[in-house]
């Protein structure tokens, strides 16, 4: 079942490469992780389109290019402690297990968190620490983190996530309104934080204490 849609997966990888994803380790992660196991069964035939898809509970699995862009920007070496805000389907979580040392992930919707756990298990992935809760608060007990990825749009950069970022670490978060955002990359240095605006993005809102109201 995991190796189903092999041709479609290869075509997606070729498309990602044509769109500027040239990190071999990221492309290999996409080849290793079967995206169709992270979308509803009725959408398996669309799983390898470079497009977002609904996963229920008012949420979506992001366009593969967005996941690939995040991972390429982080340039993970396999040793990092990574915090993911917004487990969602669990697909990006699975990709992270191929690229980082330790993966921690938070989802605010219990049903989605459970579905992600089942999908990860179906792929034989056990090396993930999951929590249900307010992602805008982070997971301070397990920090600091070398990388933090936020998979939802925030009106501003959540302060607790900045506090949990290790010196030398990176935080990726879409910042803006509910309908349109800009991807921000924040690096923590010995003297503070360096911020850079990257691509325009469109994500579901980040709900929580330091995000949008439900």
Query: CATH number, domain at 107?
Result: 3.40.50.150
Q: Once rounded to an integer, what is the mean pLDDT over residues 197-205?
A: 90
> If you search the block for the tokens 């898809």, which residue do you land on?
53
Residue 20 forms part of a structural domain: yes
Whether 25 is catalytic? no
Note the pLDDT of residue 126: 84
93 and 103 Cβ atoms separated by less than 8 Å: yes
Assess whether pLDDT exceeds 70 at residue 172: yes
pLDDT per residue as tens digits for the range 113-168: 999 999 999 999 988 999 999 999 999 999 999 999 999 999 999 999 999 999 99
What one-character DSSP code corresponds to residue 13? H
For the chain, what is the radius of gyration of the CA atoms? 16
Residue 212: inside a domain: no
pLDDT of residue 2: 57
pLDDT at 4 over 80: no
Tell me what pLDDT residue 93 has.
98
What would the DSSP string read from start to end of 74-119? HT--S--EEEEE--TTSHHHHHHHTT-SEEEEEES-HHHHHHHHHH
How many independent structural domains does the chain possess? Answer: 1
Catalytic hit among 25, 41, 62, 121: 62
Asked whether residue 69 carries a pLDDT value surpassing 60, the answer given is yes
- What's the confidence (pLDDT) of residue 3? 66
- Which pair of tokens denotes residue 113? 């968190």
Question: What SS3 state is found at 152?
Answer: coil
d(CA 19, CA 69): 10
149 backbone dihedrals φ, ψ, rounded to 5° = -115, 130
Q: Give residue 198's pLDDT.
A: 93
Average pLDDT over residues 43-70: 94
Instruction: State the pLDDT at residue 179.
Output: 86
In a domain, 131, yes or no: yes
Checking if the pLDDT of 20 tops 80, the result is yes
Query: Is 206 inside a domain boundary?
Result: no
Q: What domain range is 131 assigned to?
A: 6-201
Q: What is the pLDDT of residue 130?
A: 97
Nearest to 166 by CA among 93, 67, 83: 83
In a domain, 208, yes or no: no
- Which has the higher per-residue pLDDT, 179 or 98? 98
190 confidence band (pLDDT: 50, 70, 90): very high
What would you measure as the largest C-alpha separation in the chain, in angstroms? Answer: 50
211 in a domain, yes or no? no
The mean-pLDDT minimum among 1-5, 115-119, 174-178 falls in 1-5
Helices then strands, counting H and E runs in the chain, come out as 6, 9
Q: Which of 83, 79, 75 is nearest to 103 (CA)?
A: 83
């Amino acid at each position: 079942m995991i190796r189903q849609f092999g041709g479609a997966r290869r075509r997606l990888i070729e498309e990602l490469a044509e769109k500027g994803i040239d990190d071999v380790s990221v492309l290999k992660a996409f080849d290793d992780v079967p995206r169709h196991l992270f979308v509803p069964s009725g959408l398996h035939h669309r799983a390898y389109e470079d497009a977002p898809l609904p996963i229920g509970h008012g949420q979506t699995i992001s366009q593969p290019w967005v996941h690939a862009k995040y991972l390429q920007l982080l340039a993970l070496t396999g040793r990092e402690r990574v915090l993911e805000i917004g487990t969602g389907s669990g697909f990006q979580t699975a990709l992270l297990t191929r690229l980082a040392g330790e993966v921690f992930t938070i989802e605010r919707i219990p049903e989605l968190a459970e579905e992600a756990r089942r999908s990860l298990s179906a792929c034989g992935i056990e090396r993930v620490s999951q929590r249900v809760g307010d992602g805008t608060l982070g997971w301070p007990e397990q920090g600091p983190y070398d990388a933090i990825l936020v998979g939802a749009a925030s009106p501003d950069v959540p302060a607790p996530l900045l506090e949990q970022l290790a010196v030398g670490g990176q935080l990726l978060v879409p910042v803006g309104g509910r309908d349109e955002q800009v991807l921000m990359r924040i690096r923590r240095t010995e003297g503070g934080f360096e911020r850079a605006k990257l691509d325009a993005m469109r994500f579901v809102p980040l709900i929580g204490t330091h995000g949008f109201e439900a």
